[in-house]
Structure 1
Amino acid sequence: MGAQDTVDRADGRAADAEGVRERETRREQTHLDAVYRRLEEKIHEAEFLMDDAAKRGQVGTPGALAERDAQVFRAGIHLNRLNSEFEDFLFGRIDLLDGKTGERGPDGAYTSVEPADDAVRPDGGADIAETLHIGRLGVLDADYAPLVIDWRAPAAAPFYRATPVTPGRVVRRRVIRSKGRRVLGVEDDLLRPEIRATLDGEELPAVGDGALMAALGRARGHAMRDIVASIQAEQDEVIRAPAASVTEVEGGPGTGKTAVALHRAAYLLYRDRRRYAGGILVVSPTPLLVSYTEGVLPSLGEEGQVAIRALGSLVDGVEASAYDDQPVARVKGSARMVGVLRRAARGALELGEVPQRLRVVAFGSRVELGADELRAVRRQVLGGTAPVNLMRPRARRLLLDALWEKSGAARRHAHDPELAAEVRQGFDEDLDEETDFTDFLDAWWPELTPRRVLAALADEKRLARWARRMLRGGEVRLLARSLRRLGVDGTGPLSVHDVALLDELRQLLGPPAARPRRQEDDPLDQLTGLEEVTTAADRSGPRRRRPDVEEERRDYAHVIVDEAQDLTPLQWRMVGRRGRHATWTVVGDPAQSSWTDTDEAAAARAEALGGRPRRRFELTVNYRNPAEIAELADRVLALAMPGSTPPEAVRRTGLVPRFVAAVGADGADGADGADGEGNGEDLLGRTVRAEAERLLAEVDGTVGVVVAMGRRTQARQWLAGLGDRAVALGSLEAKGLEYDATVVVSPAEIAEGLSPREFTEGGPGAGGAGLRVLYVALTRATQRLTLVSGPRDLPDADGVPDLLRD
């Protein structure tokens, strides 16, 4: 056979393969068209329900209004879901052998996982008994046969769980790439290649061989995509794990922890919507990660039941906008602050001008309590354990007791207890109406707000008294200075750590006493006896709250904590209050922790989770980073956490990390001053900008420039005018995010400026945390990585910084 014959045969096979691909794509397009026709029918049904509900509302009776409202609410949700056309609405298919049982589930699919004993004939042939298409929502045809299986349904599990080692009934797994109503292509995995399977009398074809790798190579945008089309077995096991007690998930960079957490929220709602009607709270470390992930749940068919909140916005009415340096953050986040705040909550009663004498008129004569007597009453009140604001009624009662005793009336009526009780009641009622008494009580036991008490910590001398034997002198100075940005009443910018302090103070202070409010009569109430009728629109509108009282939901049915390794002890206490009766999913990676005292954080975490049983999972495969990038990051991991095992990268690109040194002849980088405000023309800035421009030309998606937290403003100036695809962010903001390409600027600065010799075991406590932050920065890229070194990195002739040399 000649060379030309070989080429011709190869061309023929390629043409045949292309023909099979086109034919299979057309078949999936035909099925997708049928799905959308059925969706349109369901949309018309939902619109009819909406119209019918509007007519019911014209009846005017309370019963009709309630029925109308419930119907509008249900139909509105249904219509909203049906009208949403997401990319990859239909994304998967599995072709299955005959199963051991013939039972059908509620989605119309057979429930059997294992093939029947006679599913494969002795000659190796088999018939495909069932084909299931997997999508974001379940769709049944008019005869209730499944057109699409919801990805969360038990019948869809083999799409994610089946492997060539344990294929179960799955012969072929197909990933369908679609956009809107158009099928773009298909990729197949044959999980039982030894079987000659037929479907409708034709041999089962296979198209392509890289469905997962194709999904991993897609360009990144600024929003997280769901992973329903590429969930792997170990991820699916976590997503579908029972919700009882606490599910703990550990995994290194790129293992899909955040995506798994969000998909788990959608799955739990699908499996037991009634149980989780109390809501699911997803806690993320930063607003950047919230904005990156918040679009995932709607695309999974879930919206409204899940709250995704950053730690800095976990308290309603409060939004963290300031940043604390690491030394300050370590003080504010420490569990020692609980004791400091407990003293502050009580000591704040002495703020301002506190009256030292109480004078009232009782029974026609003046009764007076002096400073010593008032101090004794205050000590007696504070002997209780109730929150400070809730002690106010006790303070009032003990003041009245002291005044009653001082008046001598108790002695005068001691012979007649019944008369004494009657006189005492009149005494209390008279004083409660005395302006002198009520004004004194307001000044002597004021209603305290968390913001006001937090602002009081800015007084260094006062804080030193409250923090005695709990904080060191240097820590007191750092804490007091950081809070001077607040006004006397606590107004001003707050950091994410301040929010946790506020939440702790709210617990210690308790809510202020409710002010009596005059209720105006509503003529409708008199006519119908109906106090309130609300509609779905009313309830979905902006929440109304008293402007002087901060309120938020504080009791969720399930709490998911993302990047849990970064929560400080005070933040664990804050999150724990929102999940007292909840089940939990806790997702994190100790190797990425930026908190220095991991033992202290572990104790606070254990307290927040309580005695609930634990179920632990580990994700071991790095789907984000190419092996070339992962290997470099693993060097830092070995320094930060000796003996730890990194996740295994599943792909290679041949693109090794690039090293660039931005060091002038005099060893300077040209940065302008210690405040990090550069003019955009210094050597480091020019180098970073040039690398960002080069990477923008090489990748289709985003480029992240990661700098030390103090350089964030400067880095944004370096990237000015490069467009939305280039993003500058601080090293602590990068957690959970990913970019097609990353520029990591000055690894030594990110690792707190310490040399490798200082990162040895027994070295400074901050060293390990700094290296873990650098490890995070090095693992954000899905394709390309550049490291730009300054003088502090001590780069060699090739630009490789001291920290990363072998």
Structure 2
Amino acid sequence: MPSSTASTVPSPTPSDDPLVREQDHLTRSRAALRSMREDVQSLDIRDVTANWVNAEVLSRQIDDRIKALADLSHTPLFFGRLDYLHAPGAEQAEGAQGERFYIGRRHVHDAGGDPMVIDWRAPVSQPFYRASRKDPMDVALRRRFGYTGGDLTAYEDEHLSDPAEAAATSKLLQREIERPRVGPMRDIVATIQPEQDEIVRSGLGGTVCVQGGPGTGKTAVGLHRVAYLLYAHRDRLARTGTLVIGPNASFLHYIEQVLPALGELEVRQATVDDLVAHVEVRGTDEAPAAVVKGDARMAEVLRRAVRAHVTPPTEPVVVVRGSRRWRVPAYELADIVRELLERDIRYGAAREALPQRIAHAVLVQMERSGEAPDDRVQDAVARSPAVKAAVKAIWPPVDPAKLVLRLLSDAEFLAVHAAGVLTDEEQETIRWAKPVRSVKSAKWSAADAVLIDEATDLVQRTHSLGHVVLDEAQDLSPMQYRAVGRRCTTGSATVLGDLAQGTTPWATRSWEEALAHLGKPEAVVEELTAGFRVPTDVIAYASRLLPHIAPGLAPVASVRENPGFFEVRAASSTGEVVAACEELLAQEGSVGLIAADARVPVLAAALAEAGLPYLAPGEETTLAARLTLVPASLAKGLEYDYVVLDEPEAVVSGEPDERTGLRRLYVALTRAVSGLIVTHADALPAQLTE
């Protein structure tokens, strides 16, 4: 059985009390970390840089290193310990017989360079997450530590190599999982489970898709995988870059402190809209138009429209060099153009290659006549007025935004390039009612911006990153998947989502289909089914909706010992909703009041009248209040210790169709970590009463 030491155990001598010895190691480790930070701060770079540019780059790297070595007072420096039976194998050469490793968020060494804390991502740390009595991985003892604030107050031991000791649930692990979570999302580095660790430590070369229901930790797994990959492949990812993509700005604010807490400061975060921001988005689409614009078939329509700008040559090109004229006949030009089209390279790349191909044809004639032209002559011919004029006529430049503008406003142009791809009805659905004269005056929608991004890539290749994390992926359209896929064509991705939480009209139907649109059909799909965040009673209630929104998915099985607080309560007025919030605010932790978007202004007025301060989603980092008023449309990915869910039927009816509404309700019901009160004046949706 795991043993636990109380938080206040007196000790006559430090040598006899394990807790005191561990507290001493913590004190010395903090001092060592402080020394590491001071060593970096004391570096003098005035005489080691060649110029001011190098000095600026080095100075920024030093600043980042100083930030990464920060000792966060309320964050445990180490959270576990491993005692090995023997020296680990060659792949874990750091170990030695009887050696002890303290596992923490970052590496800490003493003045002599000996490790005092081992980074959780190091190979020797892996058994902390995966060792079991069935496979102890040569670990004699695994010790977990309990903290109050930043002070070490308890420990708990598992003797993995002792067959006489029965397995038991770790109380400290359970306490950490259920600890109240005021403010933004925190890391789970101390509580990563074996099935999560396998995903976190999967290789950089492969793309992984994680299907996980509410509370299974898929977002945390994705973020920790980024941290692990940066540790294992830092040089490569420093060159190619990493990116975390979330559904909205509120979500990104919520998760933005996780990676810095793990010492990773250079990971960019963005929404899909941020990635495709070629134009200002000022308009919105009706759902039918957005569905068609988001359909993968639009990629073919755009490809046809771009290639249609190529005009087969009918006139020869005559290049004058000194007293001689060199003539490239139209049929030879046509062969060059046809070859470039058949190669199916990007429009812009082909346009850049065309003048060189024409110039090469001229050089062949020069060589046949006895001349010996070199590369400089070919470049001069490629830049000659005759060749430039021919290229402009045959392969004119394409402005992606103007191209999409013409497709959406010119019925004839759209009909030509959408023939056999989109029906007449679909073409009419996406066509603008009134013609628009300029790119700047157009009221572009978010779906239009994605089309422009696709057209931009057809003209010029999009820069690819080393690794991309895509969270809440189930809500992306096929064209949005393509936009994300362009950002990792030469890299890999971690795709995170839950098919049951898809709330857009174009929501993902299967991960296989989504991954094909992403350009990663070979990706491995992993499923997380153990729920660590949502209490048993809450997830059981929400799971009543699963047969209606995602019949093929198994419900999440909560592994929490605390069943949580759950109540469905009739509330005839907004005052009773406010009273429910006040009741939950008496508990420790954060409180979210989630309501249909249309109900938010009414509830905001009621909270103001009651003098109850509240925040908007994304403002939780300010800690100015513990109550957040959350529109149901922004609830996805967020979590609160306690939730009041106002009027479930209003959440459902606020969506275009019942299935989408039920999925939105499923999301809202599963945001609570410790307790949920459902308040309603109207009848509950029938699916919840079955």
**Superposed pair shares fold, TM > 0.5:** yes
Return the offset for 1:261. Answer: 0.7
Aligned twin of 1:744? 645
Aligned twin of 1:46? 40
Return the offset for 1:157. Answer: 1.8
Aligned twin of 1:284? 246
Alignment partner of 1:311 out of 258, 268, 272: 272
Structure-2 separation of matches of 1:296 and 1:16: 29
Aligned twin of 1:772? 663
Report the count of equivalent residues. Answer: 638
Instruction: Write out aligned runs for 1:355-504 (5 A).
Output: 385=344, 387=346, 447-459=397-409, 461=411, 463=414, 466-472=417-423, 475-480=426-431, 488-490=438-440, 495-504=445-454
Note if 1:185 corresponds to 2:94: no
- Relative to the length of structure 1, the TM-score reads 0.67
Return the offset for 1:579. Answer: 1.5
- Given that 1:92 and 1:229 are in contact with CA atoms closer than 8 Å, whether structure 2 keeps it comes out as yes
Instruction: Write out aligned runs for 1:727-738 (5 A).
Output: 727-738=628-639
Alignment partner of 2:613 out of 699, 703, 722: 722
User: Identity of paired residues, percent?
Assistant: 32
Aligned twin of 2:326? none
Structure-1 separation of matches of 2:100 and 2:423: 68
- Given that 2:207 and 2:520 are in contact with CA atoms closer than 8 Å, whether structure 1 keeps it comes out as no
Alignment partner of 1:144 out of 102, 113, 138: 113
Aligned twin of 1:327? 288
Match of 2:487, SS state, is helix
Return the offset for 1:153. Answer: 1.1
Aligned twin of 2:330? none
- Given that 1:568 and 1:601 are in contact with CA atoms closer than 8 Å, whether structure 2 keeps it comes out as no
Note if 1:29 corresponds to 2:27: no
Match of 2:565, SS state, is coil
Return the offset for 1:633. Answer: 0.8
Structure-2 separation of matches of 1:21 and 1:93: 22
Change (3 A) 1:458 1:698: farther
- Given that 1:748 and 1:803 are in contact with CA atoms closer than 8 Å, whether structure 2 keeps it comes out as no
Note if 1:342 corresponds to 2:342: no
Structure-2 separation of matches of 1:457 and 1:729: 38
Change (3 A) 1:16 1:264: closer
Change (3 A) 1:85 1:251: same
Aligned twin of 1:175? 145
- Given that 2:94 and 2:124 are in contact with CA atoms closer than 8 Å, whether structure 1 keeps it comes out as no
Aligned twin of 1:101? 87
Return the offset for 1:95. Answer: 4.7
Change (3 A) 1:573 1:155: same
Return the offset for 1:274. Answer: 2.6
Return the offset for 1:150. Answer: 0.7
Match of 2:47, SS state, is helix
Change (3 A) 1:507 1:272: closer
Note if 1:781 corresponds to 2:672: yes
- Given that 2:77 and 2:105 are in contact with CA atoms closer than 8 Å, whether structure 1 keeps it comes out as yes
- Given that 2:309 and 2:395 are in contact with CA atoms closer than 8 Å, whether structure 1 keeps it comes out as no
Aligned twin of 1:507? 457
Change (3 A) 1:784 1:18: closer
- Given that 1:451 and 1:490 are in contact with CA atoms closer than 8 Å, whether structure 2 keeps it comes out as no
Aligned twin of 1:759? none
Alignment partner of 2:205 out of 244, 250, 270: 244
Change (3 A) 1:383 1:643: closer
Alignment partner of 1:802 out of 662, 686, 690: 686
Return the offset for 1:210. Answer: 2.0
Change (3 A) 1:696 1:333: farther
Change (3 A) 1:736 1:165: farther
Match of 2:464, SS state, is coil
Return the offset for 1:594. Answer: 3.3
Structure-2 separation of matches of 1:391 and 1:272: 35
Instruction: Write out aligned runs for 1:494-643 (5 A).
Output: 495-510=445-460, 554-594=463-503, 596=506, 598=508, 602-610=512-520, 612=522, 614-643=523-552
Return the offset for 1:498. Answer: 3.4
Match of 1:225, SS state, is coil
Change (3 A) 1:71 1:661: closer
Structure-1 separation of matches of 2:532 and 2:304: 49
Note the alpha carbon deviations across 1:183-238, whole angstroms, 9 max, x for none. 152242434596899xxxxxxxxxx9621222233333342100112212221222
Note the alpha carbon deviations across 1:629-675, whole angstroms, 9 max, x for none. 1011110012222253112112334522323355xxxxxxxxxxxxx
Structure-1 separation of matches of 2:628 and 2:235: 41
Structure-2 separation of matches of 1:219 and 1:38: 30
> In angstroms, what is the RMSD of aligned CA positions?
4.9
Instruction: Write out aligned runs for 1:63-142 (5 A).
Output: 72=59, 75-83=62-70, 85=72, 87-96=74-83, 98-101=84-87, 108-110=94-96, 129-142=98-111
Note if 1:656 corresponds to 2:566: yes
Note the alpha carbon deviations across 1:231-269, whole angstroms, 9 max, x for none. 122212221223332333222110100101111111112
Alignment partner of 1:55 out of 19, 34, 47: 47
- Given that 2:182 and 2:589 are in contact with CA atoms closer than 8 Å, whether structure 1 keeps it comes out as no
Change (3 A) 1:237 1:470: same
Note if 1:701 corresponds to 2:610: no
Note the alpha carbon deviations across 1:322-344, whole angstroms, 9 max, x for none. 66554343222211222333345
Note the alpha carbon deviations across 1:153-175, whole angstroms, 9 max, x for none. 12222222234554442434222
Note the alpha carbon deviations across 1:425-471, whole angstroms, 9 max, x for none. 9xx99x9769xx97x99899864433333333542735556545544
Structure-1 separation of matches of 2:385 and 2:148: 74
- Consecutive unaligned residues of structure 1, counting only runs of 5 or more, are 1-14, 113-128, 198-207, 351-361, 363-375, 401-416, 420-424, 512-551, 663-682, 755-763
- Given that 2:638 and 2:671 are in contact with CA atoms closer than 8 Å, whether structure 1 keeps it comes out as yes
Return the offset for 1:715. Answer: 6.2
Return the offset for 1:576. Answer: 1.5
Note the alpha carbon deviations across 1:481-525, whole angstroms, 9 max, x for none. 5999x88214667554333222111123448xxxxxxxxxxxxxx
Aligned twin of 1:539? none
Structure-1 separation of matches of 2:7 and 2:53: 58
Return the offset for 1:616. Answer: 4.2
- Consecutive unaligned residues of structure 2, counting only runs of 5 or more, are 12-16, 312-319, 321-333, 360-367, 371-376, 616-625
Structure-1 separation of matches of 2:117 and 2:72: 15
Aligned twin of 1:302? 264
Note the alpha carbon deviations across 1:14-36, whole angstroms, 9 max, x for none. x9956538865544332222112
Match of 2:638, SS state, is coil
Structure-1 separation of matches of 2:440 and 2:428: 18
**Structure of larger gyration radius:** 1
